[in-house]
């Protein structure tokens, strides 16, 4: 089955710790995205990538970093510089930038 997987489902971060969220897709999509979802707010774009080895900042990139070494994978690192990391993180992919996006199941990040 084609789709997008995210892991882990839940992630706990300690103060000062960097954590990495995994996102893998087997849809052969070129574009991949990371969003943050907070209660009562719309999805906010963190980073996106249109091709391998290239990525751009979204609206709220501060405190986050990404890499795109393979077409199928787009991991997100939440660094210690992100002071309010508790949120639901969603990864998505599309055939191209601006086309219909398909989402993974999400990772909920909590701070200890």
Partner 1 sequence: EDQVTQSPEALRLQEGESSSLNCSYTVSGLRGLFWYRQDPGKGPEFLFTLYSAGEEKEKERLKATLTKKESFLHITAPKPEDSATYLCAVRRDDKIIFGKGTRLHILP
* Site residues for partner 1 per CB under 8 A: 4, 6, 40-43, 45, 88, 90, 92, 97-98, 100-106, 108
Shortest gap between Cβ of 95 and partner 1 (angstroms)? 12
Question: Measured from the CB atom, is 19 or 90 closer to partner 1?
Answer: 90
Find the shortest distance in angstroms from Cβ 86 to partner 1: 15
Q: Which is nearer to partner 1, 22 or 88 (CB)?
A: 88
Q: Which long-range contacts (CB under 8 A, 24 or more apart) does 77-83 make?
A: 77/18, 77/19, 77/20, 77/21, 78/13, 78/18, 78/19, 78/20, 78/21, 78/109, 79/18, 80/15, 80/16, 80/17, 80/18
Closer by beta carbon to partner 1, 1 or else 15:
1
How far is residue 64's CA from residue 25's CA, in Å, rounded to a whole number? 21
Least separation in angstroms between residue 106's CB and partner 1 is: 5
Query: Which CB, 75 or 80, lies closer to partner 1?
Result: 75
Q: Supply the minimum distance, in Å, between the C-beta of residue 15 and partner 1.
A: 25
């Amino acid at each position: 089955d084609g789709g997008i997987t995210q892991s882990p489902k839940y992630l706990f971060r300690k103060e000062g710790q960097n954590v990495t969220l995994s996102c893998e897709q087997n849809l052969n999509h070129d574009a991949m995205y990371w969003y943050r979802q907070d209660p009562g707010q719309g999805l906010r774009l963190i980073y996106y990538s249109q091709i391998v080895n290239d990525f751009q900042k979204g609206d709220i990139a501060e405190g986050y970093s990404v890499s795109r070494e393979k077409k199928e994978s787009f991991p997100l690192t939440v660094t210690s510089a992100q002071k309010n990391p508790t949120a639901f993180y969603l990864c998505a992919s599309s055939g191209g930038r601006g086309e219909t996006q398909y989402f993974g199941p999400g990772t909920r990040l909590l701070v200890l």
